[in-house]
Structure 1
């Protein structure tokens, strides 16, 4: 049920993104943008659409917000892969944008995908109420900027020059920003679209985002590069503190399972209607990509 739903929503999101880029000029940057947004699990966009469904909204009413967060996520990956950041040459099983094109094109692709995200949210198709669209734009700006994802990336860079490994509390805070902020926005967006209280979905997503990052740390140790589509073992090679290095492999797995239980508990107000989101939480820690 979950995998079928994930595939169906991914198809809707892909179509929305490609439609948004259909009129882009025939330039290397636009070709690279399409390349950068293609593929992936679309988990963040999935959370938007399934969260909105809890408030009676059809996928078509949430797909622009879903595509927006996927565009923004793609921008973050393109920039994160650059030589000045993580210097990765493989993403989703393909050459990263700066490898396939060049560094300058990759910077512009990331910039353009970021602005595309807010373009999508500003359109009437995102929501008929202008106040809701403004709320979506403002909240995504905070989640992706210096109060969220960018702050987490800055904390990660600073940790590399700190001269000491980060503590568990410090890593938890860093990842709540770097990875968790966009996941929280994605889940909360459904409530924002439905003009409802974001608290239950926010609690769900806070636990989910941390579980997602712990699972990533586990995959960096146990994962297969052919399945993950990216380089593994890079954290250990760089001597970075991770949830696995601090908790141990089994301790990290236990903590991830505890967080999934917390995420599931947060969905209690929705009853059986939230079963797909419960399955998503379990998928996050059982995935091999």
Structure 2
């Protein structure tokens, strides 16, 4: 029966994919499918359909390769694991009802086909979830490493003045990395003023503020001044609401103002030169 189901899919792939796409578009809880360009949607749908057929034909090596490629693709597209399982369910429903409407599935063989469909969908759902989860974990891990590498460097912008731009959520692990790079950078660049730029930090809560205060205290211990820049209005409101005390070091709303203040601390200023 596997080959019979596979043959039906191959002979009616255009109709099956069209009906499946409509069902997926109606999943209101997931917007990733609706906003896909038509060419990408059609390509992804074709790849998914091919994956389902390959599993039926029991070509295990080809199936594993296709499954890995498809999992990597849908992770990049932002599909949730729930959406992926719904994709499998809807696809099987379309195939079953289509075979039923054409009389391929009837009262005489319905029990056998139900069992065959169950044997088809259960392993593919399990293997898809497992591969998706591994791909997602690997992707998140690589993104985390990349974020740490990009957002925890002390950058010298003027003699004696350095900036550390912080991007993303600051947890305990990242705070440790920030502290290490900050102290190493202050000594290496002989910085007298360090600007911590939190423009790219989406949320500043009590824990994040605690890490920032610790970093500022550490900078002072090695003989430099620390300034907190990039405080957006919503961040300022949160800091006040939480009662976080940032009175011990200077704060500014933008990096530009912070640089101007840092230059003043080092007895310099920005002047306009006429042509």
TM-score bin (small chain): under 0.3
Taking structure 1 as the reference length, what is the TM-score of the superposition? 0.24
User: Which structure has the higher relative contact order (CA within 8 Å, separation 6+)?
Assistant: 1
| Higher CA-based Rg | 2
